[in-house]
Structure 1
Amino acid sequence: MQQALKRQGVSIPRLGLGTFRMASNVCQPAVESALALGYRHIDTAAMYANEDAVGAAIAASGLPREEVFVTTKVWHDQLAPRAVPLALEQSLAKLKLDYVDLYLVHWPAPGMDMAATMEAMMALRESGRVRAIGVCNFNLAMLKTAIETISAPLACVQVEYHPFLDQSALLSYLGGKGIPLTAYAPLAQGRAAEDATLQAIGRKHGASASQVAIAWLLEQPDVIAIPKAQRPESQRANLDALGLRLDDADRAAIAALPKTLRYVQPAFAPDWDAVPA
């Protein structure tokens, strides 16, 4: 069994399958393959336009619903209090599920009424249509507001995180609150595979550079990773990374890599360096 983190009443498998930029016709066989290989955490979003494929794959797997941890997300143009539950119902209809395990605010919206949005998210949790809630792409100032002012019971915070991007401040803050960090783009959108340092570490261990990146993330306490992988071979390799053990020399080499490379930076992204009040 995969290791899982238990928070806010849910148990989140530490390695999941990301489905960003997977069209439905590709997504369904990919999710079916992942579930057959042993994945039990599938990450999708309304914006990915593949929730129907994820739901079809879960149905085809024959697995009991409670064995598959399903995450989906509400897009930033649907954060008004009345829009949030409607967005969830649309997602549930496409997934053909009665509930999702984790529902996330996908991106913060400029000028959003965070308190009202989080109250709407919490109401969904109370309704049972959502087992747990969280946020993606919030900067530290936003997170402090959500957690300390609004008292939102966040089960995880999902952000870009890989060996080329420093998230130590966020990890330190979340660690103090007992909230896991879910790393999306954990392979830096494929760039980890081409990195000479990660390749060299991989050769030492009989592993790939991508496996090294995943192992580095998952050896950190309270970090979850959701690499995208369409081919069964890649999915299996990512699972095998769970057994890779790095040493101090490996960690020092990874620590020396550049840590300022952010690859997901849409025009509506928040100011990542905003200082909390």
Structure 2
Amino acid sequence: MVRIISFIVGLGFVGVLLLGLFGSVNSLITDPAKPTVTEEFLRPHKEVAFASDGPMGKFDRAQLQRGLQVYKEVCSACHSLGRVAFRDLTKLGYSEAQVKKFAADWGAKQQVLDPKTGDRTERDNVPADKFPTVYYPGQGVPPDLSLITKARHGGAAYIYSLLTGYSEQPAALLKHFPDAKTPDGLYYNPYFANLNIAMPAPLADGSVTYADGTKNTLDQMSKDVSAFLVWTAEPELEQRHSTGFAVLGFLLIGTLLAYGSYRTVWRNVKH
């Protein structure tokens, strides 16, 4: 009798397990998990072309100079270029005299530690100096932009998309995700990883008056500073491209010579 009761209890227990398993599988099939707010509204970067794209790409010096102007007048207040020296700007078409004046006139100065007193003092920048680091006491150091196009998926296209992507939250987002309202102090941008970014929109039409008279639209300024940041991340890009083609040519010629030698050495050998 005891065995029969134990068997019935065990059978019921197994039935409960099977029922729960069936219900779980059925719920996965009929009621798949809803996408998260970022999966639903995060956008891939926009398609945008730059002169430096592709294996034969070259920098547009005029665009790089405009991008430098945008960085200086807008971005440099918050972001550093710690891996770029002022003298590197000669590669953009500036003379040594222009670079020297550019460095001396730069708003932020070089911080120098007095070895005798331990006090910090300031001095003017010289061409050999790197761009000064931007630092806010109590807030740390904002992201350095020197390698930003290498550090973000999409590179320059991501930067361009981010700069042009600020907008109001779509009504559909708040309808499906009422708790996803952008918090105070943050700004909605569908190209940023979690949709809400602490940096307010840095650019708008007319933010910078270009020295060469180029129309200063949001789109143009975003492209120019994105192109400039490609250069800061890889200033030797053009040289790398030209060297790559030279290496490929050398390998091709070497392969043809090796094949010719092989045919010459083995042509009279009977197999």
Q: What TM-score bracket applies, with the shorter chain setting the length? A: under 0.3
- Is the radius of gyration larger for structure 1 or structure 2? 2
Whose strand fraction is larger, Structure 1's or Structure 2's? 1
Taking structure 2 as the reference length, the TM-score comes to: 0.23
Taking structure 1 as the reference length, the TM-score comes to: 0.23
Whose helix fraction is larger, Structure 1's or Structure 2's? 2
